[in-house]
Amino acid sequence: MVWSAVAVAMVAGLAWWLRPTPHDVTVVVIQRDILRVTIDEPGVTRMPNHAEITTPSSGNLALEALEVGDTVRAGQVVAVLRPAALDGRALDEARAQVRAAAAVREQAEALVRQGEASLDAARRERTRTSRLAEAGAVAPRALEDAQTAESLQVAAVEAARAQLRAAREDERRAAVGARTGPGAGVVSLRSPMAGTVLRRFQDHGRVVPAGIAVFEVGDPTRVEVVMDVLSRDAVDLHPGLPVRYRLPAGDTAPGRVVRVEPAAFTRTSALGIAEQRVRVVTRPDGALPGVGDAFELPSAIVAWEGRDVVTVPAGALVPVQDGWGVFRVVDGKARRQAVTVGHRGARALEVTQGLSPGDSVILLPDERIAEGVRVRPAR
């Protein structure tokens, strides 16, 4: 009996000594969290309210003391032109420019009327939705969408009015150019809008031909950020979606999608791959400190956001036969668990089936981890 007991003890000790050593693993606990699906692309800023000041006719150009970055008022003189004499052909061309400028002005007036009508409709819709929201007949999101649509339409009307002012100034300059001739005096080139000098195309006074650019003026209070998004991502985008911009100082600023253009274009990536891209126009909710025209700005469109979502780190997923799975830690052993994945964020994914809050899963499992392998959390 003694020898039997000793033998059993030796076998048990040998089995304990030969048992596999648990693998140290990084374990994360599944929990509910906020999940955002974002489309991250570099954006480029632009000023939709801008105007290029050009010469209405040929002549001797004299510039005012303006530099890039200076502030100008609407109607401020930025240069003067002493027109050259016009021959018969040049005069015909100048009169044709007057007619073309008048057509552009009429088109701008029509756009203003169209924008004002759309703004009135947006305001009525916002008022109606506000009343329904107060009565609990619509979701709060519907009121938010109506308010966003009204704000976007206000900005569109402002841009249309700025274009109309620029068109009227172009028509005035064209008319002056058609009237000028020998002894006609000087022509004052004025800024059609208040803003900032973005570009100065002429360094000094000289004889210039008709239609040459002198200054470009823009409104820095109205900035858009344009992003070129992959066409497969653009199908889920629509006006009103939130955007986050990363500013040069490291802070972030909010904005909204204004327009998703309907036509795609081909662009070759840095790896030489032809990609179909779609231009998405976004607008910040406020000013962008330290950002000017044509600046590159890291931007992220929030295509989807869920709250109280069961999430799992992307690094915990492993391929299984029909999709994705994870390794759960159950009683010190790795257990393979199939999961159903929903929305995909940058670092985490939504799990609709297969996991519950409180479950422990292995992060970044390597080739040593298999079904039934003993594991222990790394310290």
Domain ranges of the chain: 20-36+307-377, 50-218
Both tokens assigned to 136: 């609990």
How far apart are the C-alpha atoms of 73 and 241, rounded to whole Å?
35
Phi-psi region of 358 (alpha: psi -120 to 50; beta: other; left: phi over 0): left
Both tokens assigned to 196: 């900032």
In a 13 Å sphere around the CA of 220, the CA atoms on its Cβ side amount to: 17
Both tokens assigned to 254: 């909010």
How far apart are the C-alpha atoms of 124 and 110, rounded to whole Å?
21
Kindly report each contact of residues 340-346 with a partner whose C-beta sits within 8 Å and lies 24 or more positions away, as own/partner: 341/317, 342/309, 343/35, 343/37, 343/304, 343/306, 343/309, 344/37, 344/314, 345/35, 345/36, 345/37, 345/38, 345/311, 345/314, 346/38, 346/40
How far apart are the C-alpha atoms of 23 and 17, rounded to whole Å?
16
How far apart are the C-alpha atoms of 150 and 158, rounded to whole Å?
12
User: What pLDDT does 49 receive?
Assistant: 85
Of 312, 314, 316, nearest to 366 by C-alpha is: 316
Residue 379, class by beta-carbon neighbours within 10 Å (0-12 exposed, 13-18 middle, 19+ buried)? exposed
Spatial contact of 43 and 156, defined as CB atoms under 8 Å apart: no
Lowest mean pLDDT among 96-105, 117-126, 229-238: 96-105
Domain 20-36+307-377 has CATH 2.40.420.20: yes
Of 173, 178, 165, nearest to 79 by C-alpha is: 173
What are phi and psi for residue 76, nearest 5 degrees? -70, 140
User: What pLDDT does 302 receive?
Assistant: 94
Q: What is the largest CA-CA distance in the chain?
A: 134
pLDDT higher than 80, residue 8:
no
| pLDDT tens digits for range 291-338 | 889 999 999 999 999 989 999 999 999 998 888 999 999 999 999 999
Spatial contact of 205 and 60, defined as CB atoms under 8 Å apart: yes
pLDDT higher than 50, residue 198:
yes
| pLDDT tens digits for range 326-377 | 999 999 999 999 999 999 888 899 999 999 999 999 999 988 888 989 998 8
Whose structure tokens read 């632009």?
A: 46
How far apart are the C-alpha atoms of 255 and 283, rounded to whole Å?
5
User: What pLDDT does 216 receive?
Assistant: 93
Count CB-CB contacts under 10 A for residue 241.
Answer: 21
Both tokens assigned to 78: 């930025």
Lowest mean pLDDT among 88-92, 161-165, 190-194, 329-333: 88-92
Q: Strand, helix or coil at 309?
A: strand
Q: How far is CA 106 from the centre of its chain?
A: 32
User: What pLDDT does 9 receive?
Assistant: 54
Q: How do 59-63 and 206-208 pair as beta strands? A: antiparallel
Both tokens assigned to 11: 């076998």
Contact residues for 286 (Cβ-Cβ < 8 A; gap 6+)? 253, 254
Of 119, 118, 112, 102, nearest to 164 by C-alpha is: 112
In a 13 Å sphere around the CA of 158, the CA atoms on its Cβ side amount to: 16
| pLDDT tens digits for range 248-292 | 888 899 999 999 999 999 999 888 899 999 999 999 998 888 888
Specify the pTM. 0.65
How far apart are the C-alpha atoms of 9 and 16, rounded to whole Å?
10
Q: Is the alpha carbon torsion for 301, 304, 308, 310 positive or negative? A: negative
Both tokens assigned to 213: 């650019």
